[in-house]
């Protein structure tokens, strides 16, 4: 459904508090890992959005009990590491790459067959980067176009999986996680080495479930796991990728002073804060505490930003935030150059191309690069009202909305895709108009 959303300018700034919805990455993993245990686990502040519900439905199809006490509270109970059951039909992963890639790792060592499909976007995303290392471990996974794309079937391996030492060509939390999860069911040790450390939610949560990991530099090693011991309760922190839209909005809309509540500040995810501070943003961390994941309240006030340059070394810590960083750069004085972001070409869309095509409709100030972009800033007075298309990409839709709210408004085609990660986004934005 091509739903058109009109965004009005925010004239008085953002003020008050915003409660950030649960972290998408942590929500996925909390359900998956709890479903591999034989004790009940209560999950609070779960992100009740389309992607995470794909994981819930997947685990239910595999025989795991998932009860919804309310929209954001789940009770999950599985039957142990060997307790997953063969699904009665094909599993639909929807738009969720996390669901598909991590489940391939979990299911690689199972003794039953599972077939996955997904929506049009997920069906275009490359899965060979996961299937190749899993196949080296002895997994038997087949897919369309020589095992690269959905539909994908995980077939019982002829022998037990065996550990490997895998050097990843690029940092990816999803690929790393899939290999580690397969390593839980593999003979010997499995080691994954990244060029840079990607987000470490899998490692943190596995440790919280009693799984022993060895870390050395950017390498993680796991051995076969016989049993997982879950915590009684998992509290999902607010998602910094969702908070990022308000971090930028408050930084570029005059008169803003807002506190974002209970946001996860895992250092593998806080690249957005580092880049915005480097651009001159006024950001403070308050009430910092450390649970399974560290979290804090974040105060952000309007500031005059300036351009910056960053590249591949920080990219794993902010890859999902590039669309909204591009918006900040359009308002910042001077030029911003982003490189090392080639991974964005195989996200929900070719995000680099979509940012260039759609944001330039509002103001033609972005030059696309093969692995990034150059943004000429200082455009606050040059913005025009335009109709833009999200291309069914939730992060593009929300970034366009902030661009319109900070400027002279915008119309967004295919706007409903925000339900993938932040169903209440427009409701909160409208509150400030």
The SS3 assignment for 403 reads helix
Closest CA to 98 of 52, 166, 33: 52
**Which residues have C-beta within 8 Å of that of residue 62, sequence separation ≥ 6?**
35, 84, 85, 87, 114
Locus of tokens 């501070």: 277
Q: Find the catalytic residue in 200, 262, 320, 392.
A: 320
User: How many CA atoms does the CB half-sphere of 64 hold within 13 Å?
Assistant: 30
Active site residue 274: no
Q: How many angstroms separate the CA atoms of 382 and 403, rounded?
A: 12
Whose CA is closest to 35, among 116, 108, 109, 107?
Answer: 107
Which of 303, 319, 322, 301 minimizes the C-alpha distance to 373? 322
User: Quick one: tokens of 261?
Assistant: 């509540």
Residue 235 phi, psi (nearest 5): -100, 120
**Residues pairing with 410 in the sheet:** 7
Q: Report the C-alpha gap between 165 and 306 in whole angstroms.
A: 43
Bridge-partner residues for 6, per DSSP? Answer: 411
Cβ neighbours of residue 199 under 8 Å, at least 6 residues apart? 25, 173, 266, 268, 269, 316, 317
3-class SS of residue 129: helix
Cα dist from 431 to 7, 38, 118, 407, 422, whole Å: 12, 44, 34, 17, 15
Give me the sheet containing 165-167, strands edge to edge: 165-167, 189-193, 219-223, 213-216
Q: Give yes or no for a contact between 398 and 374, defined as CB atoms under 8 angstroms apart.
A: no
Active-site residues, by number, are 320
């Amino acid at each position: 459904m091509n739903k058109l959303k009109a965004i009005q300018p925010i004239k008085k700034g953002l003020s008050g508090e915003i409660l950030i919805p649960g972290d998408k990455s942590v929500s996925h993993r909390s359900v998956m890992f709890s479903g591999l245990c034989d004790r009940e686990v209560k999950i609070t502040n779960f992100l009740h959005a389309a992607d995470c519900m794909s994981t819930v439905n997947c685990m239910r199809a595999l025989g795991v009990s998932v009860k919804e006490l309310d929209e954001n509270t789940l009770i999950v109970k599985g039957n142990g590491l060997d307790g997953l059951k063969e699904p009665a039909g094909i599993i639909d992963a929807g738009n969720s790459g996390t669901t598909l890639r991590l489940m391939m790792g979990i299911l690689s060592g199972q003794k039953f067959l599972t077939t996955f499909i997904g929506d049009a976007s997920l069906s275009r995303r490359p899965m060979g980067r996961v299937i190749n290392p899993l196949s080296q471990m002895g997994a038997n996974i087949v897919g369309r176009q020589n095992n690269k794309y959905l539909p994908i079937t995980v077939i019982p391996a002829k022998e037990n999986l065996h550990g490997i030492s895998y050097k990843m060509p690029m940092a990816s939390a999803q690929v790393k996680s899939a290999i580690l999860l397969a390593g839980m069911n593999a003979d010997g040790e499995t080691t994954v080495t990244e060029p840079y450390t990607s987000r470490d939610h899998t490692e943190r949560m596995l440790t919280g479930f009693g799984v022993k990991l060895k870390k050395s530099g950017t390498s993680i090693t796991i051995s076969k796991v016989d049993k997982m011991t879950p915590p009684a309760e998992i509290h999902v922190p607010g998602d910094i990728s969702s908070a990022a839209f308000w971090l930028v909005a408050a930084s570029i809309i005059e008169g803003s002073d807002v506190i974002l509540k209970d946001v996860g500040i895992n250092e593998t995810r806080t690249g957005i804060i580092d880049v915005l501070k480097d651009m001159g943003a006024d950001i403070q961390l308050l009430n910092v505490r450390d649970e399974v994941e560290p979290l804090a309240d974040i105060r952000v006030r309007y500031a005059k930003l300036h351009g910056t340059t960053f590249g591949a070394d920080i990219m794993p810590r902010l890859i999902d935030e590039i669309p909204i960083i591009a918006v900040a750069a359009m308002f910042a004085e001077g030029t911003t150059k982003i490189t090392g972001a080639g991974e964005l070409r195989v996200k929900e869309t070719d995000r680099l191309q979509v940012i260039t095509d759609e944001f330039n409709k509002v103001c033609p100030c972005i030059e696309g690069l093969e692995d990034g972009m150059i943004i000429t800033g200082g455009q606050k007075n040059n913005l025009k009202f335009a109709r833009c298309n999200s291309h069914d990409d939730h992060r593009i839709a929300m970034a366009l909305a902030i661009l319109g709210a900070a400027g002279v408004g915008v119309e967004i085609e295919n706007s409903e895709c925000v339900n993938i990660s932040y169903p209440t986004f427009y409701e909160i934005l409208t509150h400030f108009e």
